[in-house]
A and B are shown apart, each in its own frame.
Chain A
Amino acid sequence: DAKTTQPPSMDCAEGRAANLPCNHSTISGNEYVYWYRQIHSQGPQYIIHGLKNNETNEMASLIITEDRKSSTLILPHATLRDTAVYYCIAVGDDKIIFGKGTRLHILP
């Protein structure tokens, strides 16, 4: 699976959009980009995934660049409950590998 790179931490004001970047410059053509988040002392929660096109669901939007070397997870109106570690993962035919993720702090 391709390695992904994320900033270790980010801050976002409550009510604003949180934009979490992820670099995956070695991603291959059949690898999807998945995002999960983990709230303290709980299991990770699936958020969204995509291959080439931008995706949106009730939780977030995923923007993938045309060359697929990077993506951005957007939480449109961040709340305090969005404080968590967010993982960006490239998934192909092999097992899912979680890195250290980005710790998102939502500021009141």
Chain B
Amino acid sequence: DGGITQSPKYLFRKEGQNVTLSCEQNLNHDAMYWYRQDPGQGLRLIYYSQIVNDFQKGDIAEGYSVSREKKESFPLTVTSAQKNPTAFYLCASSMDTTLPQHFGDGTRLSIL
């Protein structure tokens, strides 16, 4: 079945460490997105990519980095510069930036 796979579902990080969250899609979608969600809040856009080898910062990009070397993959690195990384991270994809986005089931990141 086509869809978006995020792994792992739960992730723990020690302070000062970088950690990479995986997002893979087999929907042949051009656009991919990363969102952050804090408890009781809506989704905030971190980064998005409309084509391979290109990406743009969203509203809260500081302390995060991404790459888009393949159409299917859009990994997110949470760097040690992100001071409050504990959150629920959601990856999404769409044919373009105006069509319905398909979401993965998220990765919950916690700091030890």
Contact = CB atoms under 8 A, between A and B. Distances in A.
Contact of B101 (A42, A96, A100): A96
Contacts of B33: 95
Interface string A73-87: 000000000000001
B85 interface: no
Interface residues on A, range: 20 to 34
B60 interface: no
Interface SS of chain A: loop
Interface stretch (B13-21, B35-43, B71-79): B35-43
Interface string B39-59: 011111100100000000010
A92 to B, nearest CB: 7
B42 A100 contact: yes
Given A87-B42, A100-B42, A101-B42, A41 B97 contact: no
Interface SS of chain B: strand
A29 interface: no
Task: Indicate the member of B44, B92, B100, B105 with the most A CB atoms within 10 Å.
Answer: B100
B98 A98 contact: no
B88 A98 contact: no
Contacts of B106: 41-43
Interface of B: 4, 33, 35, 40-45, 48, 58, 88, 90, 92, 97-98, 100-106, 108
7 contacts: A32-B98, A44-B92, A44-B101, A45-B103, A46-B100, A94-B97, A100-B41
